[in-house]
Amino acid sequence: MDVQGHVVVLSSPNHLVSTLALIAVAGLIWAVFRDRGITTNISGQQLLGGWGYSTQIDVSRRTFLASLEAKSHHLSAVSSFIRRYGGPLFGVTSTHQVIYQKEGIERFLSQPLHTLGNEPVAWTIHVRVFGSEDDPALRQKTSVARKELSAAVEKVYMSDRPASECIEEANIPRHAYSLVTLSASDSLTAWESLAQYRLLVSETKDQPGAAELNLFNLIRSFGAAISIPMLYGSDYMKRNPNVLRDFWAFDNDCFPLVMAGVPLWAPLKHFQEGLAARARINRGLAEFFERLDKHLRGEDLDPTLDLTDVSQIVMERNEIFNKYDFKYRDRGDHDAALLWGQNGNMQPSTSWLIIYIYATPGLLASLRQEIAPHVSISTADNDYSHPYITRLDMNGLQKHCPLLRSTWLETFRVANEPSSLRYIAKPLQVTPESATLQPGTFVTVPHAIHQHDPSLYPDPDRFIPDRFVRVDAATGERRAPYGPLKPWGGGHGICKGRVFAEKHIFAVVASIVSLWDFEPASGGEWKVPGMRPGTGIMRPTEEVRVVARRRRYVE
Ligand code: HEM
């Protein structure tokens, strides 16, 4: 290992949907070595922090470097285990630099793609994580089509009006009304089944119902159940009833390990189940594209097929797939990545946001007050007099709710681990003083490492909901700008779903907060669970069991 200015040169890998590779490798190393003394003086999270990913530790530069040095002699041993593709990408012994300084990073990441690219990284992830065939002809075709496939997403998910229209069409408030089934007779929704639902009190006209669930799982699956059909339509959901279960099995038990290069034959039960889940997701998407394509050609005679609500994004991607003659299997593999990009970060971050809102004393009440002018509630025409939402003013929520916005950013700060992974195609420096990065190598910019920097965020280990709120001295207007936070990465590879993601999260959270009460199932104080690295967003170390009841509006 060598340390040059602010560039720590070590060996290793990573990206696409990006925050992940180093996490995966580090996570694997941690998993392999945590019981063997490698982390005797640093916790597992510190180990990840040392690799540039954890937001949980106060990493001063000295500790950061010291922890790397302390570990470096273990890297070669691990590398032979992790290495698979022969190329430099994920081999721990190959050149990969982690840039942990802030200065010059924006300019660095804005380099044109022919200088600072992501194609080799994206392809490796496509093969390794999303299970594509590693075929040179397919790689070439993918490289040509990538820009158009991405543009189909950006056109909708990166533009204010089209993204808002998607959210409106999905009618999130209506779904939020049915977040929890409070009746024994109804069959459970997919999100309830995945949240280990237990009915406590059946809802009747005179008696409020109550049910116990795992809040983290409930919210992430609820969000995914809304967003996935926003891409592929409701017919896809009906024909793939286990897609949510498979998605989390893949995300939790398979993604980090395939990313780290664990061989597919590794006899690990959860890993094998995760791989099987991935295969079902990819197959389901391949079959979807086959149905869609045949239907559009007038070849599909299935009278039950209803593709009327398939999104513009997916229709356009299908055209692009046709243009370049992608096989259905390859379309499925491509869209497995899109499906993950859409949900892998968005849903768990919504879960954390909800947990913090309910668990932080006083915050729920303040937020309810702040969002009230933008959420219209009624109990009219409703047999049970339950509150439901008649109007959600997205513009108001996004522009005039600084506390909601700040709480969201603070949640990102503590629970998100964004990074940017790039391929160096031409010699490049981060600043004129720093070492020249050589073509053919890789860099990771672990934005998360700054999220616990006390000079940027005083008292960094505390969750402070209004930390991002700023008051304009002249007008008194309160706003919550990002400041130095980079939850979406940066440069050309910056997140292509961020406009949509913000709206989706705000709509889900405002709807749930307006309609539901949760309290700890144990009956005691709220306790925010510990965090461990995930695939971008942290995962809870324990379940958050809560009792859910409809919110009561006092007339
Ligand atoms: C809370 C939600 C989300 C977070 C925190 C998030 C975060 C990120 C980050 C950190 C990156 C890597 C950026 C870089 O390399 O510099 C990324 C890339 C990407 N994200 Fe998101 N994302 C979110 C939601 C979404 C959604 C809803 C979509 C919709 C499909 C999406 C699509 C993508 C795509 C396509 C890329 C790859 C961009 C490229 O390589 O050009 N993301 N995201």
Contact residues for 72 (Cβ-Cβ < 8 A; gap 6+): 1, 10
Q: Provide the token pair at 48.
A: 């990840």
Q: Which of 15-29, 88-102, 520-534 holds the top average pLDDT?
A: 520-534
pTM of the shown model: 0.86
Average predicted confidence (pLDDT) for the chain: 84
**What spacing in Å lies between the alpha carbon of 17 and ligand 1's midpoint?**
5
Does any ligand 1 atom lie closer than 6 A to the CB of residue 346? yes
**What spacing in Å lies between the alpha carbon of 499 and ligand 1's midpoint?**
10
Does any ligand 1 atom lie closer than 6 A to the CB of residue 49? no
What pLDDT is attached to residue 363? 98
Mean pLDDT of 179-208: 89
Mean pLDDT of 405-430: 94
Give tens-digit pLDDT for 465-502.
Answer: 999 999 999 999 999 999 999 999 999 999 999 999 99
Contact residues for 284 (Cβ-Cβ < 8 A; gap 6+): 236, 239, 240, 243, 332
d(CA 380, CA 385): 7
* Res. 259 pLDDT band, cuts 50 70 90: confident
Q: Provide the token pair at 139.
A: 């790689």
What pLDDT is attached to residue 197? 94
CB 244 within 8 A of CB 194: yes
**What spacing in Å lies between the alpha carbon of 418 and ligand 1's midpoint?**
9
**What spacing in Å lies between the alpha carbon of 83 and ligand 1's midpoint?**
26
Does any ligand 1 atom lie closer than 6 A to the CB of residue 338? yes
* Res. 109 pLDDT band, cuts 50 70 90: very high
What pLDDT is attached to residue 399? 96
Does any ligand 1 atom lie closer than 6 A to the CB of residue 105? no
Give tens-digit pLDDT for 126-141.
Answer: 999 999 999 999 999 9
What pLDDT is attached to residue 95? 72
Domains in the chain (CATH in brackets) are 2-131+417-450 (no CATH), 147-413+473-550 (1.10.630.10)
Mean pLDDT of 375-390: 84
What pLDDT is attached to residue 508? 98
What pLDDT is attached to residue 555? 52
Crossing angle between the packed helical segments 136-157 and 312-323, to the nearest 10 degrees:
150
Give tens-digit pLDDT for 290-348.
Answer: 999 999 999 977 889 999 999 999 999 999 999 999 999 999 999 999 999 999 999 99
Mean pLDDT of 419-443: 89
Mean pLDDT of 110-134: 92
Does any ligand 1 atom lie closer than 6 A to the CB of residue 233? no
CB 96 within 8 A of CB 443: yes
3-class secondary-structure state, position 516: strand
What pLDDT is attached to residue 2? 37
pLDDT of 525 above 60 = yes
Mean pLDDT of 537-553: 95
CB 397 within 8 A of CB 506: yes
Contact residues for 117 (Cβ-Cβ < 8 A; gap 6+): 422, 423, 425
Position 214: which residue type? N
Mean pLDDT of 247-270: 92
Does any ligand 1 atom lie closer than 6 A to the CB of residue 18? yes
* Res. 554 pLDDT band, cuts 50 70 90: low
pLDDT of 28 above 80 = no
pLDDT of 435 above 50 = yes
pLDDT of 388 above 70 = yes
CB 430 within 8 A of CB 105: yes
What pLDDT is attached to residue 19? 36
d(CA 311, CA 38): 49
Give tens-digit pLDDT for 60-97.
Answer: 333 343 333 333 333 333 333 333 333 333 333 357 88
Q: Over the range 167-200, which residues count as b (16 or more CB within 10 Å of their CB) and which as e?
A: beebebbebbbebbbbeeeeeebbbbebbebebe
pLDDT of 228 above 60 = yes
DSSP 185: S
Q: Going by CA atoms, what residue is nearest to atom 7 of ligand 1?
A: 488
What pLDDT is attached to residue 23? 43
CB 288 within 8 A of CB 109: no
d(CA 225, CA 340): 13
Q: Provide the token pair at 330.
A: 């390859």
**What spacing in Å lies between the alpha carbon of 77 and ligand 1's midpoint?**
33
pLDDT of 523 above 80 = yes
What pLDDT is attached to residue 35? 27
Mutate to test the pocket of ligand 1, among 14, 15, 17, 443 (most ligand atoms within 8 A of CB): 17
Q: Which residue has the higher pLDDT, 79 or 275?
A: 275
**What spacing in Å lies between the alpha carbon of 487 and ligand 1's midpoint?**
9
d(CA 430, CA 102): 10
CB 90 within 8 A of CB 16: no
Percent of the chain with pLDDT over 70: 82
